């Protein structure tokens, strides 16, 4: 599978899942007020949304490796590591 195709699939699934969860959380808040359930669902929706780009680049790395495009895979792995580094540095600050 081409990296573009796998990236598109991961992004679409991640987006659909997070939008559904956001709608569910917001709907239950409007129906019954802010409680434990809407809070957990909305946090889960945010986490799924934010995790989607990380999952996308992981899938792109796998696609490049499967197609033996090792230079592109190396570049993508480098970006993935930089993303993890910036999260770690940000948490330390």
Partner 1 sequence: MEPLTLITIMLTLLPIGFLAALVGIGGGTIVVPLLTLVFHVDIKEAIAAGSVTVVATGVTSASRYLKQGLTNVRLGIFLNTSTVLGAIMGALFTLTAPPTVLYFAMSVLLLYVGINQITTSKGEVARIERGSFAKVKGDRLARLLRLSSSYYDKASEREVTYNVTRTPMGLLASVFAGLLSGMLGIGGGVLKVPIMNLVMNVPMKVAVATSKFMIGMTAATAACIYIEAGRVNPLIVAPTVLGISTGAFLGTKVMNRVRADRLKVIFGAVMMYIGYLMLARAIYAATGIELPGCLR
Q: Which of 32, 35, 37, 50 lies at the binding interface for partner 1 (CB under 8 A)?
A: 50
| DSSP conformation letters of 13-36 | HHHHHHHHHHHHHHHHHHHH-S-H
Q: How far apart are CA 82 and CA 33, in angstroms?
A: 40
**DSSP-derived 3-state class of residue 68:** coil
The site that binds partner 1 (CB under 8 A) totals a number of residues, namely 50
Binding site for partner 1 (CB under 8 A): 3-5, 7-8, 11-12, 14-15, 18-19, 22-23, 25-26, 29-30, 34, 38-39, 42-43, 45-47, 49-54, 56-57, 60, 69, 71-72, 75-76, 78-79, 82-83, 85-87, 89-91, 93
């Amino acid at each position: 599978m081409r990296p573009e195709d796998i990236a598109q699939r991961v992004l679409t699934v991640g987006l659909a899942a997070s939008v559904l969860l956001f709608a569910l959380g917001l709907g239950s808040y409007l129906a019954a007020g802010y409680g434990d359930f809407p809070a957990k669902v909305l946090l889960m929706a945010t986490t799924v949304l934010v995790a989607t780009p990380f999952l996308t680049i992981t899938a792109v790395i796998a696609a490049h490796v499967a197609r033996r495009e090792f230079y592109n895979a190396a570049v993508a792995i480098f970006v993935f590591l930089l993303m993890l580094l910036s999260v770690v540095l940000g948490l330390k600050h």
